[in-house]
């Protein structure tokens, strides 16, 4: 085949392909218009349980964006940031849940609204001895989550830290 014949066949193939594409285009009445929707930007709402301590360490205890609330890990401490219930993981766990309940109440929530709970502990065996206490916290349904054994927490006296995620439709 000569180059001119190949060129003519190529052009013919391209034109034929274009005509098939044009045939498959929807008619005007089949074309749907796209409606532009403006999405409102949610403003984060931060909460500080112990403002002086949280500012000193550089974190917020919780933040709410829309229907979602993220709650930082709660540890067993007093209002000055000193560890409490040293050496007693059961009481430390109860103190964590007490602080978490205060944060939940601030947002009009209960433990029934919790969808994720992550527990960090420096002594998994001891935690498992007292994990049954959680049935007093989660009366309807347990949330999803993880239990993680860790080498250490923020201060050596802390044996447990619990963080939560909440979903609360407005």
Summarize pLDDT for 45-68 with one digit per residue, the tens. Answer: 999 999 999 999 999 999 999 999
- How far out from the chain centre does Cα 109 lie? 16
Please state the pTM of the whole predicted model.
0.77
> Exposed, middle or buried, 124 (CB in 10 Å: 0-12/13-18/19+)?
middle
45-167 sits in which CATH class?
alpha beta
Average pLDDT over the chain, rounded to an integer: 89
Task: List pLDDT tens digits, range 98-120.
Answer: 999 999 999 999 999 999 999 99
Phi, psi (deg, nearest 5) at residue 39: -95, 130
The residue extents of the domains of the chain are: 45-167
């Amino acid at each position: 085949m000569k180059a001119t014949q190949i060129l003519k066949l190529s052009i013919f193939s391209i034109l034929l392909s274009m005509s098939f594409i044009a045939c498959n285009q929807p008619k005007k009445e089949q074309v749907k218009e796209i409606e532009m929707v403006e999405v409102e930007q949610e403003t984060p709402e931060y909460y500080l349980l112990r403002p002086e301590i949280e500012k000193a360490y550089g974190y917020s205890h919780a933040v709410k964006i829309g229907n979602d609330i993220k709650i930082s890990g709660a540890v067993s401490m007093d209002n000055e940031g000193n560890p409490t219930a040293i050496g007693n993981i059961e009481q430390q766990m109860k103190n964590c849940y007490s602080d978490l309940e205060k944060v939940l109440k601030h947002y009009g929530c209960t433990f029934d609204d919790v969808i994720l709970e992550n527990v960090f502990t420096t002594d998994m065996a001891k935690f498992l001895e007292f994990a049954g206490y959680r049935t007093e916290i989660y009366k309807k349904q347990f949330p999803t989550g993880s239990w993680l054994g860790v080498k250490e927490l923020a201060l050596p006296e802390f044996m447990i830290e619990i963080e939560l995620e909440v979903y609360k439709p407005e």
